[in-house]
Amino acid sequence: MPTETPDPGAAAEFAIDPELPICDPHHHLWERPPKDYLLGELLQDLGSGHNVVSTVAVECRYSYRQGGPEELRPVGETEFLDQVASRVDADPAIETRVAAAIVGHADLTLGDKVTAVLEAHGAASPDRFRGVRHSTIWDASSALRTDAPAGLLADSQFRRGFGCLGKLNLSFDAWLYHPQLPELADLARAFPDVTIILNHIGAPLGVGPYAGKRDEVFQVWSRGIGALASCPNVFVKLGGVGSLRSGYDWHERVVKPSSAELAAALKPYFEWCIEKLGADRCMFESNFPVEKLSTSYVNLWNSFKRITEKYSAGERAALFHNTAARVYRLESARNGIT
């Protein structure tokens, strides 16, 4: 039984099945209100009882270069994350390979010119840079954050830039809302040689015009996941549902939900993804610190373990570690897990 003290802001729990190897394929590091989340904060969460052997650090528009060409400024984030990873690797007291893989940002609307940006990311982190995320979230409602124009995934200039990923053996982390899933399926069919990792199960929405329509949203979302399942180059991150856009009240509670409550809410979505794509194309993610508003690190991973209690050992190994390690090309971990 682990001895760590449970997070006081969450229903007090210790880690379930604490020996199960985990690759957390989605977290951020930043200085941002209401609280910074840098290496120290991440290590506190990693030490909460689960066996996280490696992580993937994903861009969040932090630590950009302050000067130079605008298109190259995001390379600063990759430089920062690579420095963090190197610092961790040099410290034998830290067992987790933090930022074993890095997902940076590049503006794919640069078309062919994005190649220089991708190569700069690779030069900044030759051993860890694996791909990019270019947010394409869009919705007609002003109640939702919008990062891109409507229909960007079909834009010819964007697609020229996207094609450069395949030439450099880089992956694409897709960040969009659930009504946009058919657009991602069309992109995946057009570029079957590019690995696409859907973030946060495609963000089924529960605020703005989607509030109070969870069943209706589920129907639209599930059809979108079904369309993606027919594209063998698409993988899905199971997580991200604790964000405010999902419409739950977890962030408003003084005591956050237990892992059992989380599991009950998340199970229909995650099981649908696993049923359609298989465990070898799905991976659990923390999406910390975004999810920290709604739950603790230990409770979140406990909820994933509750959901998969009846899955086979092979399926659990894939969902918690092996799919992410394969997709992000993590060759080894310090404790010998591959």
| Tens digits of residue pLDDT in 103-118 | 999 999 999 999 999 9
The burial of 35, by beta-carbon neighbours within 10 Å (0-12 exposed, 13-18 middle, 19 or more buried), is given as exposed
Residue 122 belongs to a domain? yes
pLDDT digits (tens, 9 = 90+) for 254-310: 999 999 999 999 999 999 999 999 999 999 999 999 999 999 999 999 999 999 999
Closest by CA to 133, choosing from 166, 116, 150, 108, is 108
Whole-angstrom Cα distance, residue 24 to residue 1?
A: 22
If one counts the domains in the chain, the total is 1
Residue 15 belongs to a domain? no
Q: What is the pLDDT of residue 34?
A: 87
pLDDT at 6 over 90: no
Average pLDDT, the chain: 95
Residue 338 belongs to a domain? no
Whole-angstrom Cα distance, residue 38 to residue 10?
A: 21
Residue 332 belongs to a domain? no
pLDDT digits (tens, 9 = 90+) for 71-99: 999 999 999 999 999 999 999 999 999 99
Domain at 219, CATH number: 3.20.20.140
Residue 10 belongs to a domain? no
Residue 33 belongs to a domain? yes
Residue 4 belongs to a domain? no
Q: What is the pLDDT of residue 11?
A: 66
Residue 259 belongs to a domain? yes
pLDDT digits (tens, 9 = 90+) for 151-210: 999 999 999 999 999 999 999 999 999 999 999 999 999 999 999 999 999 999 999 999
Q: What is the pLDDT of residue 7?
A: 52
pLDDT confidence band for 12 (50 / 70 / 90): confident
Whole-angstrom Cα distance, residue 116 to residue 75?
A: 11
pLDDT at 5 over 50: no
Q: Which domain holds residue 301?
A: 21-327
